[in-house]
Amino acid sequence: MSLFRDLVFILVSTPHSPFAAHGHKLLILSPIIEGLCGGWSTLQAATSAYISDCTSDGSRAHIFSRFTGVFYFGFAVGPMLGAFLIRHPFIPIFSPATGVHNGAPTVTSVFYVSATASFVNLLLALFLFPESVHKKRAKVAAAQSALPVTPASSGSGEEIAQQP
């Protein structure tokens, strides 16, 4: 969903875009759609579940601490990188609106870089990262979920209390 949000910001921040006139509506609608789809908390939960499935019990805490450090490193470096891209739009494809505002730098280059990073992340998740649940574990889980739940196996404790 961050790819969608970045594309909306590109459409709104590009002055000659047909959506620029109605940008205030899109800037309100984009976070609402992202929030309905889960947003940042869903990304964190999915990342934690994937790490938990792919690591052994002994190294899980170490791997979780590394991923948390990388997330917070991104929070720290991201604004500095964004400010650098606004002041020095050195990649022409990421800054097509340079000079539109009487030579003043625009924020569009930041959103182009962010959308590109989100797209690369999507491609990596789809084609490079392996499935976290092995086929054998998936079959066992499917077989267990297909078993009917009987009152004795539900674990509620009511049956035990009623027996003499």
**pLDDT value, residue 102:** 58
The answer to whether the CB of 20 falls within 8 A of the CB of 106 is no
Average pLDDT over residues 74-84: 91
Which region holds residue 89: left if phi is over 0, alpha if psi is between -120 and 50, else beta?
beta
Is pLDDT at 121 greater than 90 in this prediction?
Answer: no
Is pLDDT at 72 greater than 80 in this prediction?
Answer: yes
Is pLDDT at 56 greater than 90 in this prediction?
Answer: no
The sign of the torsion formed by the CA atoms of 81, 127, 52, 2 equals: positive
111/12 Cα distance (integer angstroms): 11
User: What amino acid is encoded at 67 in this protein?
Assistant: F
Give pTM, 2 decimals. 0.64
Beta carbons within 8 Å of 134's beta carbon, 6+ residues apart: none
Comparing 94 with 108, which gets the higher pLDDT?
Answer: 108
